[in-house]
Amino acid sequence: MRSVLAMMAVSALTLTACAMDADEDAESRYAPVAAGQAIKMEQKNAPIPGTAYRMAYRSTDAHNPTHLVAVSAEVMVPRGTPPAGGWPVMAWAHGTSGIGLTCAPSIMGIGGPQASFYGSWLRRGYAVVATDYPGLGEPGAALYLNAKSEGMAVLDSVRAARRRFPSLSGHVVLLGHDQGAQAVLAAAALAKAYAPSLQIKGTIALGAPYFDGDSGHILTQAHGGRRFAPGVVYGLLLGASLGAADSAFDPSSAFKPRALPLYRKASELCRGDFFGAVEHAGLTPDNTFQPDAENALAPALQWARYPSLKLASPVMLGIATNDTQVPPAQQEKLKQALCSAGTSVSVHHYHVEHSPLLNAAENEAQTFADRSLQGNAISSDCQ
């Protein structure tokens, strides 16, 4: 089934500075090939108050900045006449869905929960641009939790959408949950130098992971190590991404023999199935990670760090106090690090688990977005 779905994905190749795509429109055919250009666009049916498209576009290869990769995204435009200056953009970055080609939200489709989420922003007058990240939806290496790769993909998705839709404004609010929260914080850090045509008005990060110099133990020692913990899943996904990016990586240096079959499945199963398979296999931190796993996974743990935490526009952090997937203590450390870097941070706590956080924070997120776009002052919880 996976191979059939993969064939349905829009075919694309890693692009070099000399490549041109035959499907580009005539106006852009003679423009220099660069990140932030749309390759293909197709309209899709979706139960939303607007028009939905699946787009393939170019982004920069995080491991080789002289190369481009093809990435996919969904673009949703509200019905009606855009306001003066165009529809403001909500750039959405999704949470962990897996690292396989068919784990891309644009392939999975816009179902009921997604339609409700997107619809609330469209009715509010925002266009929505939602990247899949490199390696999901278009062939290529999925660099799980690679902050720079995710951040560039978010920014390039908006630039590509604006080139195809003149009704989209350059005023952008970034919103992400889980892995996506990391992506939007990275995008905000990169925007001024990487995508200066975009004006990032505010960033909403819900359930954001935070990796610093001593964060590897979150994966390897969660819950005392003797029962299932989400860190096992995330560690296997990181390891599989590292293995795809570096042929010299030896998975047995990070994972014990019992976990190696799941390491190999990490690039095949999407989030729900992979979580279930890992738990069914009885994997725990103790029987998954080698004693020196943190050192073995160090390159991936390094790429998970934020490019900068000094952001020019305000940040809303949403923290689920009952979160068992991204420890609240790490999110509080992220808040302190952002504040110490000089970023204005508004923090909201919700007495929910990790996944329900997105719905729980909806009202505050939309109010924050509106106020940021209007240039209204956002209160900061930094001291």
What DSSP character marks residue 83? P
Alpha-helical (H) ranges within the chain are 2-8, 26-29, 105-108, 112-123, 147-164, 179-194, 217-220, 230-245, 260-265, 271-280, 285-288, 293-296, 298-303, 328-340, 357-360, 362-374
The mean pLDDT of the chain is 90
Class of domain 2-210+306-374: alpha beta
Please determine, for residue 354, whether its predicted confidence score (pLDDT) is greater than 90: yes
State residue 227's pLDDT score. 76
CA separation for the pair 283, 230 (Å, rounded): 10
For the beta carbon of residue 266, count every other beta carbon within 10 angstroms. Answer: 26
Residue 11, pLDDT above cutoff 90: no
* pLDDT level of residue 78 (50, 70, 90 thresholds): very high
Please give the residue that has the higher pLDDT: either 117 or 216.
117
> What is the rounded CA–CA span in Å between residue 58 and residue 38?
6
Flag whether pLDDT at 5 surpasses 50: no
> Distance (Å, rounded) from C-alpha 369 to C-alpha 90?
9
Percent of the chain with pLDDT over 70: 89
As a whole-number percent, the residues of the chain with pLDDT over 90 amount to: 83
Tell me the whole-structure pTM to 2 decimals: 0.91
Residue-level pLDDT at 111: 85
- What pLDDT shows up at residue 251? 98
DSSP state of 178: T
Tell which wins on pLDDT, 140 or 266. Answer: 266
* Residue ranges of domains in the chain: 2-210+306-374, 217-303
Report pLDDT digits (tens) over 273-297. 999 999 999 999 999 999 999 999 9
